Structure 1
């Protein structure tokens, strides 16, 4: 999948919804540590969109694998089929924020082999800003036939992430103060994987929540040593905002692998080293 098909604009989505082969729409609104977003979805969503719960359907139970470990592929496939996802039907995912939750769904679908999935650039805000209609109508999708086949995108475990920091480029997508270990509001230990570079995912988008132009993203990542053909890995706190960074790299035309367990998995093992401060080491 090329950079041109990783995301689409609200105008492009409107045209596709009116076309002969409209995409399946997934609403993945989510708030870290916040309330369930289903009531917000029920109050108003894109016409035809099906709600997907990140914590229950896009992640396994929290524990030793991290706060948002990968879901069991078969359970994920069943959730996608319930949402109407079919192997030969395009899928478009959106959320109500900067795209982190939508990118998680995008990554999982790509990782499990779906060939045509994109994220609505700018999410719900971009849709409504373009005078896109919302509806409170209940959506009952037809059962899809999507069957997961993991391996469509690169996946790192803890050892591979540590090696990527030494032999390639490992980007830490969390806020800079968490990378430096100055604060850690969620996980028990602050700091970063030794050798990782700070690259907050919030800097991949503009004030409107839409991705920066591909050239600007290539310049940003290139300054960190992440360029086309380089071995690049990404992690974050629990594998959600890191998926957004993988998507940003995709928009820039750069392939990357995700350490899905991320920092919430890394710090469960006290034998793993932890670096603090602004320097990678």
Structure 2
């Protein structure tokens, strides 16, 4: 079943007797140009959407020596609190979105399911697609009645560094970063350049069209198949720099009919131990 919802379909759901809870997770990487997520939300968001912060509610604090990476797994109680604040109940239906093309929204999609929420979908193309389709926006901050959601950590499997190395050896480990970062030619964020030995490179930017929407499933399957990633490939793991854009790769794989596991700490966790090998090519 697709984890995406189009802007047109979401507008129709808003008019239904039981519309989904909508979470705004607009986000920009620290140090990048432009306003951060809270500022973007304050200016414009979907009507009734509650803001959830990727850095503080969909990720935990960075551990000593960088263990866990730049966006470690959050405490499950923090996720539970964020969802209750947004009015999410135990069997709640949730749609997440960002400004497009969906990197932060995919991280929310993964984290919420990891925390035990079953029905989570991503607005395909995000706020950009919503407004392009004529959807209304608002600057009003909603005040929903508290929800009853009870989180359960570990509802999705997660790879640590040792498990990621095993997948690279026995299955297929996918690096979702840009090709030049994978090759070790440049590293604008982390202190060490390169990739996990045995990984293959599939930059996340190749999953979407120019409008920020995911490619059709048939095109995604063709793309991944060219890299040796097929429906019957197992195991498949995915990582990036800190576990954000890798979630978008997981979403694209899911839409292609391929289930994979996230190395949540990703490259920034891998290099926290200097004894771990680094490949460049």
User: What TM-score range do you get, normalising by the shorter chain?
Assistant: over 0.9
Is 1:272 the counterpart of 2:276 in the alignment? yes
Is 1:263 the counterpart of 2:274 in the alignment? no
- Number of the residue aligned with 1:50: 50
Distance in 1 between the 2:144 and 2:225 partners? Answer: 42
The change in CA–CA distance for 1:72 and 1:186 in structure 2 (over 3 A counts) is: same
The change in CA–CA distance for 1:225 and 1:154 in structure 2 (over 3 A counts) is: farther
8 Å contact 2:79–2:115 — kept in the other structure?
Answer: no
Is 1:239 the counterpart of 2:272 in the alignment? no
Distance in 2 between the 1:269 and 1:228 partners? Answer: 33
Q: Residue 142 of structure 1 aligns to a residue in which SS?
A: coil
Distance in 1 between the 2:37 and 2:76 partners? Answer: 24
- Number of the residue aligned with 2:14: 17
Distance in 2 between the 1:111 and 1:86 partners? Answer: 16
Is 1:181 the counterpart of 2:181 in the alignment? no
**Offset of residue 267 of structure 1:** 0.4
Counterpart among 102, 106, 110 of residue 103 in structure 1: 106
Distance in 2 between the 1:270 and 1:89 partners? Answer: 43
Q: Which segment is superposed worse, 39-48 or 222-231?
A: 222-231
Structure 1 moving runs of 4+ over 4 Å: none
Q: Residue 113 of structure 1 aligns to a residue in which SS?
A: coil
Q: Residue 151 of structure 1 aligns to a residue in which SS?
A: coil
How large is the Cα RMSD of the aligned pairs? 1.0
Task: List gaps (5 residues or longer) in structure 2.
Answer: none
Is 1:144 the counterpart of 2:152 in the alignment? no
- Number of the residue aligned with 1:159: 162
- Which TM-score applies when normalising by structure 1? 0.95
8 Å contact 1:161–1:233 — kept in the other structure?
Answer: yes
**Offset of residue 17 of structure 1:** 0.9
Distance in 2 between the 1:136 and 1:122 partners? Answer: 20
**Offset of residue 43 of structure 1:** 1.5
Aligned length: 274
Task: List gaps (5 residues or longer) in structure 1.
Answer: none
8 Å contact 1:232–1:256 — kept in the other structure?
Answer: yes
Is 1:7 the counterpart of 2:29 in the alignment? no
